[in-house]
Each structure stands twice: as C-alpha cells, then as structure tokens.
C-alpha cells in the first residue's frame, strides 16, 4: 500500500493538467459556437477528474487522501451524455440547452445519491473499507456493477451519436467547408470512442486485478484533448451556417445631409413651377426633373 508513481501515472497526471487548462480556454473563449465550447469544457473537466481519480487509486495515494476516494465514480456517467450533447450542439448550431435534456443526467444523480452515505463516513472508516478492498483478489462487486452500467450507457450514446452523424451527413450542403470540418471531427470522435469502448469491455472481462486501470482513462483523456484542439483550431467552423450569415439590412439611414435635401427639394419645386413637366404626356417629367437636379443626386 506504499504510494508510488509510475510512468503511465505521470502521463495521466500531465493529461489532467492539460485538461484543466484546455477547459479554461474553452470556457473563456468568445469565438465560434460558445455553447458547444462550454459543453466540451465541462466534458474536459469531467474526464480530467475521472482520470485523476483513477491515478489516485492505482498509485495507492487514495490511502493518503481517503476522503477523495470514489468522488469521481458518479462523474463517469456524465461522459456519455456530455459527449452526445456536444456533438448535437456542434452539428445543429444550437446556442442554449433545453430542460428536456436534463434526463440525460439521471444516471449521474442516482450514482451520486447512492454514494452519499459513503461520502459522509469518517476518514478512518473509509480507510478500513479501502484496505479490505485492496486485499481482495478481484476488483469487487461495486466495480463490476458500476463499470457494467457505464459500458451499457456509453454504448447507448454511441448509437445516438452515430445516428446524429448519419442525419447530419445527409443534410443538403449549405457550407461545404464547414460541413467537412464538422464531419471530420465527429467521425474521428466516433471511431476513437468505439475503440475506447472496446478497450473498456476487454478490461472489464479480462483484467481481474486492475493492472490496466490507467490505460482506458489515458486513452479517453487523449481523445478529449484532441477534440479540444480541433475545436480551438478553427472555432469559426463550429458555428452554424445560419448563425454565420448576417441578416440582410432592410433599411439604412441615408447619408444625405439636411442642407442638401433642402436644396434638392427647392430645385425640384422650382422645376415643377417653371417647366410644368406634369403637363407633358410623353414622359417629359422624368426628363425635365432629372436633368435639372444637381449632379450629386443624379
């Protein structure tokens, strides 16, 4: 139970630090689709905390900081919903959330409520519980229940994301450059997520001792940081085409000075009085009026 860091743990911690920095940039940037940026920022923070929790457990530092144990467990159920909502915002160009989307966070809330009694235990009680888990031959029942539910949940969101990608790819091309950029990002995300999901399934079924505990979190952090880089590299491409198109101005205030307008009006009235063009039935009004007005108006 002696705390110790290995190379993979250090790489994961560097990824955690990078994730928090990326989240700060995403949440503060004013370019591109700010709503999608905020979702990706929240997702990056979530992934960073989950990866940090995995490092804490694997390196045995959880015995030094027992009150930090299991804090990241409910957050794993946020990754699928946040990823889906990010892709949805990216492809639709929407700029705000809807109340009906709150149901996506029910699994997170249920897991958090289940762990509340554990969170309120003393540090000594948590240490005793962690020690008993440490000497078990397997990873424990809670690990298999939580991981199994997460694998099923993430599979559902992979299906939803794939469906969103198919629908978006079938839309008529309104902005070819924008669509290609978004399709590239979403396809990259889907392929990488499928690979990570397969890795999670293999670890769940084959690894009984937790020796590969940091591999899947490290891969997930690399995926999210890659998505963050793509989001920030060309943020203007993340905007919806309709949002990029400025509405046509219906009216612009004339730049004609009041003195000039009075001058033109007086000139026109003088022409009407002297020449009486309205008496000419062959269109002489336009001929007389236009050629007698000052040059700037013509």
User: In sequence order, what DSSP letters do the residues of the chain get, joined into one string?
Assistant: ------HHHHHHHHHHHHHHHHHHHHHH--SS-HHHHHHHHHHHHHHHHHHHHHHHHHTTGGGTSGGGTTTTTTTHHHHHHHHHHHHHHHHH---S--GGGGGGGHHHHHHHHHHHHHHTS-HHHHHHHHHHHHTSSS--HHHHHHHHHHHHHHHHHHHHHHHHHHHHHTS--S-HHHHHHHHHHHHHHHHHHHHHHHHHHHHHHH-SS-TTTTHHHHHHHHHHHHHHHHHHHSGGGGS-HHHHSPPPPS-------HHHHHHHHHHHHHHHHHH-GGG-TTSHHHHHHHHHS-TTT-
Residues 266 and 161 in one domain: no
Average pLDDT over residues 288-293: 53
Domain presence at residue 298? no
Residues 35 and 72 in one domain: yes
Residues 143 and 170 in one domain: yes
Residues 175 and 286 in one domain: no
Residues 129 and 277 in one domain: no
Specify the range with the lowest mean pLDDT, choosing from 36-50, 124-138, 140-154.
Answer: 124-138
Domain presence at residue 95? yes
Nearest to 37 by CA among 28, 50, 49, 46: 28
Q: How confident is the model at residue 69 (pLDDT cuts 50, 70, 90)?
A: very high
Residues 153 and 79 in one domain: yes
CATH assignment of the domain containing 165: 1.20.1070
Report the chain's mean pLDDT, rounded to a whole number.
80
The token pair that represents 249 in the structure block: 């101005």
Average pLDDT over residues 221-236: 69
Domain presence at residue 249? no
Domain presence at residue 14? yes
The fraction of the chain above a pLDDT of 70, given in percent, is 76
Q: How confident is the model at residue 82 (pLDDT cuts 50, 70, 90)?
A: very high
Q: How confident is the model at residue 186 (pLDDT cuts 50, 70, 90)?
A: confident
Average pLDDT over residues 119-142: 82
pLDDT at 296: 52
Residues 190 and 220 in one domain: yes
Specify the range with the lowest mean pLDDT, choosing from 112-126, 143-157, 223-237.
Answer: 223-237
Q: How confident is the model at residue 118 (pLDDT cuts 50, 70, 90)?
A: very high
Higher model confidence: residue 249 or residue 191?
191
Residues 157 and 274 in one domain: no
Higher model confidence: residue 174 or residue 54?
54
Domain presence at residue 252? no
Residues 130 and 20 in one domain: yes
Domain presence at residue 297? no
Total structural domains in the chain? 2
Residues 192 and 263 in one domain: no
Domain presence at residue 70? yes
Per-residue pLDDT of 136-173, as tens digits, reads: 665 678 888 999 999 999 999 999 999 998 888 887 76
pLDDT at 74: 96
Specify the range with the lowest mean pLDDT, choosing from 92-96, 132-136, 277-281.
Answer: 277-281
The answer to whether the CB of 94 falls within 8 A of the CB of 53 is no
Residues 39 and 164 in one domain: yes
pLDDT at 266: 75
Domain presence at residue 137? yes
Residues 95 and 213 in one domain: yes
pLDDT at 241: 40
| Structural domain for 141, as ranges | 7-244
Specify the range with the lowest mean pLDDT, choosing from 45-59, 174-188, 223-237.
Answer: 223-237
Average pLDDT over residues 118-137: 85
pLDDT at 133: 77
Q: How confident is the model at residue 192 (pLDDT cuts 50, 70, 90)?
A: confident
pLDDT at 148: 92
pLDDT at 287: 54
């Amino acid at each position: 139970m002696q705390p110790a860091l290995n190379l993979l743990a250090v790489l994961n911690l560097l990824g955690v630090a990078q994730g928090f920095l990326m989240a700060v940039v995403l949440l503060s940037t004013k370019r591109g689709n700010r709503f999608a940026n905020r979702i990706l920022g929240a997702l990056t923070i979530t992934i960073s905390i989950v990866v940090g929790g995995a490092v804490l457990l694997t390196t045995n530092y959880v015995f030094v900081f027992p009150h930090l144990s299991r804090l990241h467990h409910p957050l794993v159920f946020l990754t699928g919903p946040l990823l889906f909502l990010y892709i949805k915002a990216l492809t639709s160009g929407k700029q705000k959330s809807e109340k009906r989307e709150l149901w996506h966070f029910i699994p997170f809330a249920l897991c958090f409520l289940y762990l509340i009694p554990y969170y309120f235990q003393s540090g000594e009680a948590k240490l005793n519980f962690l020690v008993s888990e440490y000497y078990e031959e397997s990873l424990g029942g809670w690990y298999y229940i939580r991981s199994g539910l997460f694998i099923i949940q993430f599979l559902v969101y992979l299906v939803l994301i794939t469906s969103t990608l198919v629908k978006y790819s079938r839309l008529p091309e309104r902005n070819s450059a924008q669509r290609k950029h978004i399709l590239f990002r979403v396809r990259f995300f889907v392929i990488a997520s499928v690979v990570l999901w397969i890795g999670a399934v293999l670890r769940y079924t084959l690894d009984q001792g937790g020796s590969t505990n940091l591999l899947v979190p490290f891969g997930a952090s690399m995926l999210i940081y890659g998505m963050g880089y793509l989001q920030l590299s060309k943020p203007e491409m993340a905007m919806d085409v309709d949002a990029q198109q400025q509405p046509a101005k219906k009216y612009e205030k004339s730049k004609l000075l009041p003195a000039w307008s009075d001058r033109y009006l007086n000139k026109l009235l003088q022409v009407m009085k002297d020449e009486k063009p309205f008496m000419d039935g062959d269109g002489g009004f336009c001929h007389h009026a236009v050629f007698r007005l000052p040059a700037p108006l013509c």
